[in-house]
Amino acid sequence: MSIAPPDFESIWQTADRPDAGELGLCVHCGFCLNACPTYHDLGVETGSPRGRIALMRGLDDGRLEWSPRVQQHFDQCLQCRACETACPSKVPYGRLMEATRAEAFAQDRWPRRQRIIWRVIMRGLFPYPRRMRLAGYGLKLYQTSGLQSLVRRSGLLKRLAPKLAEIDALSPNADRPFYSNAEAARVSPKRTPRAHASLVTGCMMPLAYPDTHRATVNVFARNGVAVDAPSAQVCCGALHAHGGDVEASRDLARANIDAFTPLGSELPDAVLINAAGCGSHLKEYGHLLRNDEEYADRAAAFASRVRDVHEWLVEIGFELPMGRIERRVTYQDSCHLSHAQGIRKAPREVLTSIPGLELAEMRTPDRCCGSAGIYSVVQSEISQRVLAEKMSDVLGTGADQICTANPGCMLQLDAGIARFDDDQRMIPRSIHAIELLDESYRLGDQAQTR
């Protein structure tokens, strides 16, 4: 019997396919396995970075068919990029996985229901600030009318629509005034500004964590930086790129480049961002638009100015705060700050500068919390197990509050506190380091005027 030779025709169909040279960098050493939360959870090779790279290679050289099972192994990846930190061969895993997902999206490899939901929410809602604001008002009404607590107490949603109940558990507290981009203009440095920054306000943050934006503008103004927030900006497109909808992500990138760096204008000293997932994507705009004749150079210039708030504060130097905050805080490294941007020291430098504040480190602060964009909704079972481990680590520190650097992580960890902090000892809202710094400045000023 003769065995038919394998069909070595690649299964990739789009220009966004993973780069064969980058795939070839993996030498199968396995150093990444221990760092991978899904390998830890699932315990199978196909749930590991090395296994997923082998699947990509199989698709690339035609040894493998693209089946729902193969797709599932890709979908189960958190894209936390802990494997990149661990990899001695510098395999750009995040980029490879984004390219794989872009290919899957272009080839319509998702179930129909998932595709429809994506188009309604990710294409129909997130890119439009006005629609997001309307959705925010709807959420506010749902929460302030008492309907949310009624729904939660009754357990009805859990029984009738478990997926909706999961989304409800992760919904942000909208019971605060939303952030408007015009607010940045109302705060200015007391002396002649030493720099000018443009703040990326994003899609979720103005609704979910408006105080983080307020604190960011206050802190930088105090440190002599004039901050504006271009009103024509839109969602950065990180969630779209992570999901594989790379064309939507490119459209959003172009709109942001036009908003932040209109043709003929000077670049700001920094394009400032306080959300880690968005920051790592904004730094990739150059790569995202590398083949766009009109935008490639502008995208690279834009990306070169993107700075995470902790990173830039430490880079330009910041006034030491004087107000005491007697609190034990544990810091969760957001994956896209630590693994994707390599920023670990700067947030700790900010936190430890605050008098009275104690930083209680977890065993594994850079292990993903299971949020990972929309992962907590579409892969909720794995996400909840990853969160359970994270919360055991958090609670083991005896901290009063969690500090982290990304809205997705904040929502996930807040849900974790509600679910796992049985003694209700912790402050039920995680916080950004920039808010603590702002609070310390304010308390210091108050103490001086007394």
Measured distance CA(68)–CA(72) in Å, rounded: 6
Q: Does 31 bind ligand SF4 (CB under 6 A)?
A: yes
Distances (CA, A) of 153 to 156, 186, 411: 8, 41, 20
Tell the smallest beta-carbon distance from residue 215 to ligand SF4 (Å). Answer: 30
Q: Does 34 bind ligand SF4 (CB under 6 A)?
A: no
Tell the smallest beta-carbon distance from residue 36 to ligand SF4 (Å). Answer: 3
Tell the smallest beta-carbon distance from residue 23 to ligand SF4 (Å). Answer: 10
Q: Does 276 bind ligand SF4 (CB under 6 A)?
A: no
**Opening angle at CA 301, ends 295 and 304, nearest 5:** 135
- The residue (of 26 and 329) whose beta carbon lies closer to ligand SF4 is 26
Q: Does 373 bind ligand SF4 (CB under 6 A)?
A: no
- The residue (of 52 and 327) whose beta carbon lies closer to ligand SF4 is 52
Residue 358 DSSP SS3: strand
Tell the smallest beta-carbon distance from residue 55 to ligand SF4 (Å). Answer: 11
List the one residue from 11, 23, 35, 197 that touches ligand SF4 (CB under 6 A).
Answer: 35
Tell the smallest beta-carbon distance from residue 322 to ligand SF4 (Å). Answer: 40
Distances (CA, A) of 163 to 110, 139, 158, 169, 263: 18, 17, 8, 10, 45
Q: Does 87 bind ligand SF4 (CB under 6 A)?
A: yes
- The residue (of 97 and 225) whose beta carbon lies closer to ligand SF4 is 97
List the one residue from 54, 70, 82, 239 that touches ligand SF4 (CB under 6 A).
Answer: 82
Measured distance CA(358)–CA(330) in Å, rounded: 8
Q: Does 37 bind ligand SF4 (CB under 6 A)?
A: yes
List the one residue from 11, 38, 390, 413 that touches ligand SF4 (CB under 6 A).
Answer: 38
Residue 301 burial by Cβ neighbours in a 10 Å radius (0-12, 13-18, 19+)? middle
Tell the smallest beta-carbon distance from residue 408 to ligand SF4 (Å). Answer: 14
Measured distance CA(273)–CA(200) in Å, rounded: 5
Measured distance CA(213)–CA(208) in Å, rounded: 10
Among 248, 251, 318, 311, residue whose Cα is nearest residue 279? 311
Among 16, 26, 48, residue whose Cα is nearest residue 92? 26
Q: Which helix (H) or strand (E) holds 271?
A: strand 270-273
Tokens of 72: 């599932």
Q: Does 329 bind ligand SF4 (CB under 6 A)?
A: no
Q: Does 83 bind ligand SF4 (CB under 6 A)?
A: yes
Measured distance CA(168)–CA(393) in Å, rounded: 25
List the one residue from 6, 30, 68, 177 that touches ligand SF4 (CB under 6 A).
Answer: 30
Measured distance CA(340)–CA(55) in Å, rounded: 23
- The residue (of 82 and 272) whose beta carbon lies closer to ligand SF4 is 82
**Per-residue contact flags (x/-) with ligand SF4 for residues 89 to 128, judged by CB under 6 A:** x-x-x-----------------------------------
Among 336, 390, 325, residue whose Cα is nearest residue 359? 325
Measured distance CA(385)–CA(391) in Å, rounded: 10
Distances (CA, A) of 409 to 80, 347, 415: 12, 15, 10
List the one residue from 7, 13, 14, 29 that touches ligand SF4 (CB under 6 A).
Answer: 29
Tell the smallest beta-carbon distance from residue 340 to ligand SF4 (Å). Answer: 10
Tell the smallest beta-carbon distance from residue 143 to ligand SF4 (Å). Answer: 32
Contacts with ligand SF4 in 39-78 (CB under 6 A)? Answer: 49-50, 52-53, 77-78
Site residues (vs ligand SF4, CB under 6 A): 26-32, 35-38, 49-50, 52-53, 77-83, 86-87, 89, 91, 93
